[in-house]
Structure 1
């Protein structure tokens, strides 16, 4: 989806840590929550669009959604993985 060089440039807006591509299983699990109307972003808004992918911060606390191959690195658009972890297993590297 993205070149390795592009990924090396991207940083988490909160911690400035590197971002990595989310595992497909995590994206699939979050998309199930989107379909059920249960996924909210940092600002509390319901996520209504299916994720095409995501970028995860080094601490694995936030997922920044990718829609139509465009990463959404706006802080309020981030999906908290800590809250989502109640029903979504967050794989660790």
Structure 2
């Protein structure tokens, strides 16, 4: 079940590129939460990402994700996570067309 209203999800876009965002799959959210728990994930503003993300909104190119906390998407560039820079299988995180 999605933590976001589908109508809200339909209108959200990346604030940087204005590209659409999609709800990331559970394996990516789990991977980011695991790495955040290890202290190895920083957001684009340089702050360490705290574990416990409910969801991620993945830009449609699979390179950047925006966290969702308490059912609120945090659509700020500095809060976004550079998924492409994370160690591991970046291609596996890209949305399928």
TM-score, structure 2 normalization: 0.86
Counting only pairs closer than 5 Å after superposition, residues 51-90 of structure 1 correspond to structure 2 as: 51-84=53-86, 86-87=87-88, 89-90=92-93
**Equivalent residue for 1:45, pick from 33, 44, 47:** 47
Where 1:41 maps in the other structure, the secondary structure is coil
In structure 1, runs of 5+ residues without a counterpart are none
Counterparts of 1:20 and 1:92, CA distance in 2: 8
Q: Post-superposition shift, 1:3? A: 2.9
CA RMSD, Structure 1 to Structure 2 (Å): 1.3
- How many residue pairs match? The answer is 92
Please report the TM-score for the alignment, with normalisation by the length of structure 1.
Answer: 0.90
| Runs of 4+ off more than 6 Å | none
Segments of structure 2 that go 5 or more residues without pairing to the other structure are none
How big is each residue's C-alpha offset from its partner over 1:27-52, in whole Å with a ceiling of 9 and x where there is no partner? 00000001101010001111124211
Structure 1 partner of 2:13: 11
